[in-house]
Amino acid sequence: MPQSRDHTRLLIYSHDSFGLGHLRRCRAIAHSLVDHRKDLSVLILSGSPIISSFGFRTRVDFVRIPGVIKLTRGDYTSLSLDIGIDEMLKLRASIIQHTAEAFVPDIFLVDKEPLGLRGEVKDTLTMLKARGTPLVLGLRDVMDDPIMLAEEWERKNAVPALADLYDHIWVYGLPEVCEPLAGIPLSKKIQDKIKYTGYLRRTFSPAITPPSLATIIESEPYLLVTTGGGGDGASLIDWVLRAYEHDPGITHPALLVLGPFMRSNLQAEFMERVNRLDKIHAITFDANVESLMANAAGVVAMGGYNTFCEILSFDKPGLIIPRTVPRLEQFIRASRAEELGLIRMLEDGPDRSAKEMAKALRELPHQAKPSEIHIPGLLDGLSTINGLIDTWINVPAKPSTRLTVIGKSS
């Protein structure tokens, strides 16, 4: 640890150029840790433009770095500020490093990108490495097609960072399901740093629900259709709507969550179609999507990491329609999960038959639940991370009552 003090500090970096996945994963880890330990605080560095829409536990806070978005051709541009991308990245890197200097973390956790967006976190990693701060890279269960990932990481010079900078690599999954780095030749030094934690179990606390939404989720069983951030979810929403337009007799109603990043003109078009269907309700966004998931009879989704964790955690029949661009991540995850019997997958494409989707929606509530497939440690991710942090801090977690004094052994 860089310095001696009673209260441990964890700094988490999440580049968040688009969507909700990185932020929601980091938030779940932060909440689990502060619930587990009363002597720990977490600060999240995030570029998400809607991070303030989420609630955070006591001892969890965030610093929002200026946002960027990824263009279709793969380049990045500023989300709001009228400055060039190079200047923007310098600004972000400066904020990240100055935050780390002021916060003085005991542990630094980087989500997914070994050197950050366009290398923006490299200087901070180097600075903290020199201070002796443990550096952790957190990876989801699937990154991309192995060949594509190998080419990407070669271009980004990522593997040397795993060897020379990071002390630990956490994979938020199990090798029995997916191995995210299987296509990259790794030295034994790097392999020894890898720890598969299991998937991150999700829970929910009853939240204040708007009356209009409460009427929907409490009246009868429904199918939850969620696109995550929604920026690339229009195809899924259209397919589900066409199914109900084709077959008004589908047994269960559906609640659509369009996503905060879906284009406003598409949201308006979908809302018009929703208003013509008796069994469909739609909202743009709910920061407490876990409560919607917990009350659903089945879940239809694109299959991002967080949604997959929620389907497993709340033990819901899942129908996944994965995207295949710009990454094959969702397709790889859904294909493997279907092989294991955890969910069912439908492939998106030009022949998106309304009849096929209607049939799948009718069958979904009667589909096998994930719990019927026993995979040891499947949802142990958060408890594993809590245990790792305990080991590093090397002090037993203090009881919440703070009435018991733990003495040192002689």
pLDDT tops 50 at residue 410: no
Which pLDDT score, from 0 to 100, does residue 68 have? 83
Query: pLDDT tens digits for 81-115?
Result: 888 889 999 999 999 999 999 999 999 999 999 99
The closest alpha carbon to 13, from 135, 131, 126, belongs to: 135
Average pLDDT, the chain: 90
111/396: higher pLDDT: 111
Say whether 389 sits in a helix, a strand or coil.
helix
Cβ neighbors of 309 (< 8 A, separation 6 or more) are: 28, 199, 200, 201, 202, 379
Return the pLDDT at 352: 86
Q: Where are the domains of the chain?
A: 8-201+379-393, 211-372
223-257 pLDDT, tens digit per residue, is 999 998 888 999 999 999 999 999 999 999 999 99
CA proximity to 85, closest of 94, 95, 93, 76: 76
Nearest Cα to Cα of residue 365 among 304, 295, 305: 295
Peptide bond into 326 cis (omega under 30): yes
Q: Number of C-alpha atoms within 13 angstroms, CB side, residue 39? A: 16
DSSP run (H or E) holding 242: helix 234-246
Q: How many CB atoms lie within 10 A of CB 157?
A: 12
DSSP tag of 4: -
Q: Which residues pair with 169 in a beta bridge?
A: 137, 194
The dihedral built from the CA positions of residue 183, 184, 188 and 191, taken in this order, carries a sign that is: negative
Candidates 189, 243, 275, 250; CA nearest to 354 is 243
Nearest to 49 by CA among 261, 288, 265, 227: 261
* Assigned token pair, 350: 């030009």
Sign of CA dihedral 212, 253, 50, 14: positive
Identify the residue whose tokens are 């709910």. 286
Indicate yes or no: pTM above 0.75. Answer: yes
Distance CA 324, CA 248 (A): 30
Q: Where does 267-393 show beta strands of DSSP type E? A: 280-283, 298-301, 318-320, 344-345
Tabulate helix, strand, coil % of the chain (nearest 5): 40, 15, 45
Strand 344-345 and strand 298-301: the pairing is unpaired
Domain 211-372: which CATH class? alpha beta
Whether residue 367 contacts residue 344, with contact meaning beta carbons closer than 8 Å, is answered with: yes
Per-residue pLDDT of 196-226, as tens digits, reads 999 999 998 766 666 667 676 777 899 999 9
- Please provide the CATH number assigned to the domain covering 8-201+379-393: 3.40.50.2000
pLDDT of residue 218: 72
Domains 8-201+379-393 and 211-372 are alike in CATH topology = yes
**pLDDT tens sequence across 328-366:** 999 999 999 999 999 999 998 788 899 999 999 999 999
Residue-wise pLDDT for 316-330, tens only, equals 999 999 999 888 999
Q: What is the pLDDT of residue 1?
A: 47
| pLDDT tens digits, one per residue of 9-25 | 999 999 876 668 889 99
Selection from 132, 135, 134, 151 nearest residue 143 by Cα: 151
Query: Residue 12 has what DSSP assignment?
Result: E
pLDDT in tens, 118-172: 999 999 999 999 999 999 999 999 999 999 999 999 999 999 999 999 999 999 9
